[in-house]
Amino acid sequence: MNKILFFSFIAIITALVYLKFSALDSRLDGKWALEVYDLNASVIAKLKIEFHANNVESCLGGEWKKINVISYSPQRNQFYPDTSMVMLQQELSYQLNGDRLIIGRNNICDAYKHLTGNLTTTQSTGSYVSFGWEHEELGTFSIKRIGI
């Protein structure tokens, strides 16, 4: 009887750990409209995205999850992510630590671009920076849920 209880306990713990690290946080459900602004508060990009629970590769440490870019509309030649390279090479990813949302271009080593802000149930605003060899403030961003 003790063996059955022990193995049942192990199975439950394993399932809970799997769910914690593989499930999408319900605050990120649905489609989101993302706008990125330069330092003069002019829109430089508009994207429609979805957050996913799948892990992606990153040059940075930590666990980064996939963002599916549904559509994007650059308002300038230089936008987030850069148009100087093929969009598919610039996979976007995210981390959610408590209420802290970080959206990043993390698969181009030493040329990172991050959007960082605090997430509410339907939106976030924050800073847009680049870092790697150098750190530079690039502007701000806003994101809001547009549908589930």
* pLDDT tens readout for residues 35-94: 999 999 999 889 999 999 988 888 888 889 999 988 888 766 555 555 444 444 468 899
**What is the spatial distance between Cα 7 and Cα 1, in angstroms, rounded to a whole number?**
10
Average pLDDT over residues 110-126: 89
The per-residue pLDDT of the chain, averaged, comes to 78
CATH architecture, domain 25-147: Beta Barrel (2.40)
Domains of the chain: which residue ranges?
25-147
10-14, 88-92, 111-115 — which is least confidently predicted? 10-14
Give pTM, 2 decimals: 0.75
